[in-house]
């Protein structure tokens, strides 16, 4: 394995402090009724591997990335017990590369049954013994530029994935939501995802997770029942908007 340039002690302290603050906020929410096992996924897109290592050394294990190549490059040089979440737009021609990442933990952005099937084939072709965890991404805001299945098609899509993708394990639902919605309380995108999850659970009896909430609103998401929050800039600092 190649080695990662170690983070500077200043950067290690900075990331450790931010991570402590986010964790403290998660714990406060848990004391007030949020899911006791809610998971913090540290979103590290555009950030160097050294930053990830700094968070890793502070005990963080779940990390999220948006670009397949960036994720492959980082996974190749970072510790094998990291649990990677793919949270970017899922492209059909990238399923194979994703399936080759030994410690890929979940793909959170499965946005159609067709893509679920491609991912399923790639995963099984790679000979992976355990099913890959996936989240069905739901377009709760209905915006044309957002990925995800429309709310009205989500139940059927969830059923199709469960029934026809033996290599996948549907863990739950995920939404990004609109910028506008994230200013509102309650956030209508989160409310829509909770409602959909409740309906699906009633229909199937299978428990489903809720991946929702980012730096600006993860506490609110936890209050509404998120079991997994995706936090980037509050841990690693602001990102350049382009690479
Ligand atoms: C970048 C990103 C995040 C993290 O956003 P922050 O506001 O930096 O916390 C979460 N989820 C998805 C899908 C993202 O693309």
pLDDT tens digits for range 125-172: 999 999 999 999 999 999 999 999 999 999 999 999 999 999 999 999
Distance (Å, rounded) from C-alpha 210 to C-alpha 208? 7
- 150 close to 142: Cβ distance less than 8 angstroms: yes
What is the structure's pLDDT at 189? Answer: 98
Indicate left, alpha or beta for 237 from its phi (over 0: left) and psi (-120 to 50: alpha). Answer: left
Give 3's pLDDT tier (boundaries 50, 70, 90): confident
- DSSP secondary structure string, 117-151? HHHHHHHHHTT-SSPEEEEEEEETT--TTS-SEEH
Ligand 1 touching residue 104 (CB < 6 A): no
What is the structure's pLDDT at 238? Answer: 95
Q: Whose CA is nearest to atom 13 of ligand 1?
A: 87
Q: Whose CA is nearest to atom 14 of ligand 1?
A: 87
**How far, in Å, from the CA of 69 to the mean position of ligand 1?**
18
Distance (Å, rounded) from C-alpha 169 to C-alpha 186? 30
**Spans of all domains in the chain:** 9-236
**How far, in Å, from the CA of 232 to the mean position of ligand 1?**
6
Mean pLDDT of the region 57-82 = 98
Distance (Å, rounded) from C-alpha 3 to C-alpha 93? 29
* pTM (whole model) above 0.95: yes
Cα of 102 vs its chain's centroid, Å? 17
Which atom of ligand 1 approaches the CA of 66 most closely? 15
pLDDT tens digits for range 193-221: 999 999 999 998 999 999 999 999 999 99
Which atom of ligand 1 approaches the CA of 239 most closely? 8
Which CATH class for the 9-236 domain?
A: alpha beta
Q: Whose CA is nearest to atom 10 of ligand 1?
A: 230
Residue 1 pLDDT more than 60?
A: no
Which of 166, 164, 138, 163 has its CA nearest to residue 152? Answer: 138
């Amino acid at each position: 394995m190649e080695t990662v340039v170690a983070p500077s002690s200043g950067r290690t302290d900075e990331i450790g402090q931010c991570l402590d603050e986010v964790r403290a906020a998660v714990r406060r929410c848990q004391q007030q009724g949020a899911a006791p096992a809610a998971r913090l996924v540290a979103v590290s897109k555009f950030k160097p591997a050294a930053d990830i290592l700094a968070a890793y050394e502070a005990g963080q294990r779940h990390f999220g990335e948006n670009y397949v190549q960036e994720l492959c490059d980082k996974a190749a040089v970072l510790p094998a017990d990291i649990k990677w979440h793919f949270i970017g737009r899922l492209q059909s021609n990238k399923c194979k590369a994703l399936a080759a990442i030994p410690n890929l933990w979940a793909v959170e952005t499965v946005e159609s049954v067709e893509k679920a099937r491609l991912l399923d084939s790639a995963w099984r072709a790679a000979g992976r013994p355990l099913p890959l965890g996936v989240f069905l991404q739901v377009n709760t805001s209905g915006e044309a530029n957002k990925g995800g299945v429309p709310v009205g098609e989500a139940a059927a899509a969830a059923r199709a994935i469960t029934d026809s993708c033996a290599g996948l394990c549907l863990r739950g639902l995920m939404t990004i939501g609109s910028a506008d919605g994230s200013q509102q309380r309650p956030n209508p995108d989160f409310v829509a995802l909770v409602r959909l999850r409740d309906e699906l659970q009633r229909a199937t009896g299978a428990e489903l997770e809720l991946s929702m909430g980012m730096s600006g609103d993860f506490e609110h998401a936890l209050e509404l029942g998120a079991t997994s929050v995706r936090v980037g800039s509050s841990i690693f600092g602001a990102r350049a908007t382009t690479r």
